[in-house]
Amino acid sequence: MERIQSHEIPKGLMEAMRQVETYLRGTSVDYSLYKLLKVRVSQINGCAYCLDMHYKEAMHAGESVSRLMLLSTWREAPIYTPKEKVVLDFAEKLTRIATEDLPEDLHDELKKFFSIEDIANLSLATAQINSWNRIMRSFGTTAGNYKVQ
């Protein structure tokens, strides 16, 4: 049940969120990696609306059903690259930062694949999808109707 209807959302809120998305799309963070991150964090946060959206967008961008289906078990699945695994680990740790430590060596692992600028942008990307998840869950936005444009 929607608790906040689209016409009730304060003016500027969605625009501000979309501005961050526009910034992130302009960075060197790989789109397919960003989609995996969004799906995984949305799984953790139980955001059905965001899962529906990002699963469909990832499929539209060429991601495989197998990789999306196994994403919640990425540590055991051999179909993810070391680069993808370190990003997924990082995103999970940031998402669960209230209950899990963010180990120093995780940044060392990230630095094997990413610049400091990329790591900063991955931090923002993780914060952004966490924000979207919380907004959509708070608003009670209905899942299942998203169409890729």
Asked if pLDDT for residue 58 goes beyond 90, the answer is: yes
- CATH at 80: 1.20.1290.10
Tell me, yes or no, whether 49 lies in a domain: yes
The contacts of residue 118 (CB under 8 Å, 6+ apart) are 27, 28, 29
Tell me, yes or no, whether 89 lies in a domain: yes
Asked if pLDDT for residue 55 goes beyond 90, the answer is: yes
Q: Cα torsion at 71, 87, 126, 55 (round to 10°)?
A: -30
Tell me, yes or no, whether 134 lies in a domain: yes
> Which pLDDT belongs to residue 6?
84
Q: Tokens standing for 54?
A: 């990002």
Asked if pLDDT for residue 1 goes beyond 90, the answer is: no
Rounded to an integer, the average pLDDT of 54-75 is 97
Tell me, yes or no, whether 21 lies in a domain: no
Amino acid found at 143: A
Model pTM?
Answer: 0.94
Residue numbers of the domain that contains 76: 31-139
Tell me, yes or no, whether 145 lies in a domain: no
Number of independent structural domains in the chain: 1
Q: Which residue has the tokens 């430590």?
A: 101
Asked if pLDDT for residue 123 goes beyond 90, the answer is: yes
Asked if pLDDT for residue 149 goes beyond 90, the answer is: no
Rounded to an integer, the average pLDDT of 78-89 is 98
Tell me, yes or no, whether 4 lies in a domain: no
Asked if pLDDT for residue 118 goes beyond 90, the answer is: yes
